[in-house]
């Protein structure tokens, strides 16, 4: 891959305009560099997000333009938008936030200005539209009072300049009717009650929600098994009983480390080499600003770089030490179009024995970085590009292009004699391969967080293509147009040879797949169940592991939750519509659930029949 460089761009926070709700915890501020940004972004057909007639907002008058048409104002607004908003918004379709095409024709400049400046205040005031949006997106962006009135007006001028074209998307017309409810069968409540007990609360690493971005739990086997859990803001803890002791602070090891603006940025993942106690090798992924260093995987200069993901190998002189100490070397660096769907999960196959060709090989989940939503779908779903893939490398080898790692001969494209394909690739076609896990029976399970319709779990298979962005779950997606709808698969679907998920649910049930584990602990009623959930709502589901088979979708059931003896839900406990639920597995295969919103960690202590009174 060519090593392209760009001028750095400052991304301070996320703005979600006109009813756009942003993630709490994004940092308010303004772009201090004001560097011009080139873009290939285009407008699309009109896609109203809100009713045209809503209380107190009548839309901008078509006969009088209240927005500046000065070229300098629009360019300045574009710079601010590119630096602060594109992680969640574009002018093509709804994503993390609403489609912004035509937003200035649907709301008054006064309302938009107030919302951009201080969304929480508008919501608190009882504004019906703001409350409706909060209910829909379950997030509230912090106030952006650091923006001057002039900067806000420049942003609105840019948004107004992006009014949608009236052209009809001919491709959409060929797809048939969109599916308003892709999976009409609702997830039933099981007759099982999952009992949880509070264990501890992770140290707060922010003053605002999410208080602690606790993410992945890893058990390090040895004479004495050790348990670790990381906060995406850069802290890795060792969990000793109910206590969390700081083991590593990434900001001290890598001064260029950044954890803003959220959306999985930060200390993404970590993994101990299978022979860690012999060789001291430890691996991490983390984010740095755009243009911090030349990327091993880059793209054309005409496409902006939001940030870079870095994979590092660390050599620890004393693997038994209670506090991290080691020297790192960079294995690879990847440019990302957006802050979302980066290089997160890294892991080794725990069942691979020293005699296995898979032993010591590192799996790496690489999301599409928002490329498909920004209309750079050519970066995705290809064995010639790194984005939208799961990679498999030999971190101790050196036959890669940069000479810093090895490409295993067993990889599906390593021996194809095509200089254009990437031998590192294990599988393609993922939007966000958020978690990679091996079940006790050896199945490789890869969760994939969807866009606006489908969440999925896949069985990993070398060389397989899982369809994104042409597919979302078992449905057709119009990646060349608006991506907010899905359609029935075409009659000739078999010719594309896509591999489809073994578990899927639509957004009537949840908004983001929170991957879990096949339970193999001491609680009889949980044995051999794959337990997982929804990140946003905090609902907890299960499927039977023996029903996870290629070519079919396992039926999902939902647990009733009991927390410290009281039946409840994570939304109630956290007091927030977005719970940020995650799952972990600790010692003796104990199952843990934890919520980033409040940093609380729970352990599953029982599963009982939920007797109906």
Q: How far is CA 565 from the centre of its chain?
A: 33
* Average confidence score pLDDT of the chain: 86
Q: What is the pLDDT of residue 2?
A: 35
Q: Which stretches of 397-500 are assigned E, i.e. beta strand?
A: 425-428, 433-438, 444-448, 454-459, 471-472, 475-477, 486-487
Identify the pLDDT of residue 24. 35
Residues 552-577 pLDDT 10s: 999 999 999 999 999 999 999 999 99
Task: Note the pLDDT of residue 100.
Answer: 73
- Give me the pLDDT at residue 96, please: 63
- 120 near 191, Cβ under 8 Å? no
| Bridge partners, 257 (sequence order) | 288
Burial 379-416 (b: 16+ CB within 10 A, else e): bbbbbebbbbbbbbbbbeeeebeeebbbbbeebbbbee
- Taking the C-alpha atoms of residue 512 and residue 533, their distance in angstroms, rounded to an integer, is 8
pLDDT at 10 over 60: no
CA-CA-CA-CA torsion sign (571, 529, 341, 470) = negative
SS3 137: helix
- pLDDT, residue 456, reads 98
Residues 594, 604: Cα–Cα separation, whole Å: 11
Tokens of 20: 């756009």
DSSP H/E element including 135: helix 128-137
DSSP 203-267: PPS-SSSSS--EEEEEEE-SSS-EEEEEETTTEEEEEETTEEEEEEEHHHH-TTEE-TT-TT-SE
Using a cut of 0.85, tell me whether the model's pTM lies above it: no
Average pLDDT (580-584) is 98
H or E segment and range at residue 591? strand 591-595
């Amino acid at each position: 891959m060519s090593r392209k460089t760009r001028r750095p761009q400052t991304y301070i926070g996320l703005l979600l305009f006109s009813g756009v709700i942003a993630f709490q915890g994004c940092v308010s501020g303004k772009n201090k560099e004001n560097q011009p940004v080139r873009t290939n972004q285009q407008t699309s057909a009109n896609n109203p997000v809100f009713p045209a007639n809503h209380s107190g907002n009548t839309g901008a008058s078509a006969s009088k333009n209240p927005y500046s048409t000065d070229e300098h104002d629009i360019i300045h607004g574009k710079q601010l938008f590119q630096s602060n908003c594109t992680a969640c918004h574009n002018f093509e379709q709804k994503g993390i936030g609403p489609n912004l095409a035509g937003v200035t024709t649907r709301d008054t400049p006064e309302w938009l200005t107030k919302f951009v400046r201080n969304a929480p205040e508008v919501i608190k005031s009882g504004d019906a539209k703001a409350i409706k949006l909060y209910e829909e997106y379950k997030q509230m962006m912090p106030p952006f009072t650091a923006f001057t009135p002039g900067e806000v007006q420049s942003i609105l001028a840019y948004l107004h300049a992006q009014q949608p074209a009236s052209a009809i998307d001919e491709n959409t017309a060929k797809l048939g009717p969109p599916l308003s409810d892709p999976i009409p069968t609702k997830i039933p409540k099981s007759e099982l009650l999952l009992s949880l007990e509070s264990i501890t609360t992770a140290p707060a690493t922010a003053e605002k929600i999410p208080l602690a971005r606790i993410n992945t739990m890893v058990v390090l086997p040895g004479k004495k098994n050790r348990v670790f859990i990381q906060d995406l803001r850069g802290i890795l803890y060792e969990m000793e009983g109910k206590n969390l002791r700081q083991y590593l602070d990434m900001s001290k090891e890598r001064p260029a480390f950044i954890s803003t603006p959220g959306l999985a940025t930060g200390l993404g993942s970590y993994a101990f080499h299978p022979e860690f106690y012999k060789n001291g090798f430890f691996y991490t992924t983390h984010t740095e600003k755009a243009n911090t260093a030349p990327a091993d995987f880059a793209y054309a200069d005409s496409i902006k770089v939001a940030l870079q993901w870095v994979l590092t190998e660390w050599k620890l002189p004393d693997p038994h030490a209670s506090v991290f100490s080691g020297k790192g070397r960079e294995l690879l660096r990847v440019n990302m179009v957006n802050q979302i769907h980066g290089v997160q999960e890294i892991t080794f196959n725990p069942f691979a024995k020293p005699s296995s060709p898979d032993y010591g090989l590192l799996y790496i989940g690489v999301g599409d970085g928002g490329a498909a939503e920004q209309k750079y779908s050519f970066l995705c779903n290809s064995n010639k590009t790194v984005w939208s893939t799961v990679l498999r490398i030999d971190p101790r080898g050196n036959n890669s292009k940069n000479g810093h790692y090895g490409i295993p001969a067993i990889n599906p494209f390593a021996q194809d004699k095509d200089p254009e394909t990437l031998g590192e690739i294990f599988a393609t076609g993922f939007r966000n391969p958020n978690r990679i896990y091996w079940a006790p029976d050896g199945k490789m399970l890869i969760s994939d967080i969807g866009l606006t319709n489908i969440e999925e779990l896949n069985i990993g298979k070398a060389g397989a293509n899982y369809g994104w962005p042409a597919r979302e779950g078992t449905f057709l997606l119009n990646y060349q147009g608006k991506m907010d709808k899905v359609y029935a698969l075409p009659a000739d679907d078999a010719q594309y040879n896509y591999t489809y998920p073994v578990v899927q649910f639509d957004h009537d049930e949840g908004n983001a797949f929170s991957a879990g584990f096949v339970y193999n602990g001491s609680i009889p009623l949980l044995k051999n169940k794959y337990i997982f959930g929804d990140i946003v709502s905090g609902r907890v589901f299960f499927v039977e592991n023996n029903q996870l088979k290629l070519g079919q979708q396992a039926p999902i059931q939902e647990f009733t939750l009991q927390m410290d003896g009281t039946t409840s839900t994570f939304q109630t406990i956290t007091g927030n519509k977005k719970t940020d639920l995650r799952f972990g597995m600790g010692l003796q295969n104990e199952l843990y659930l934890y919520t980033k919103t409040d940093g609380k960690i729970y352990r599953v202590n029982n599963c009982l029949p939920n007797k109906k009174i």
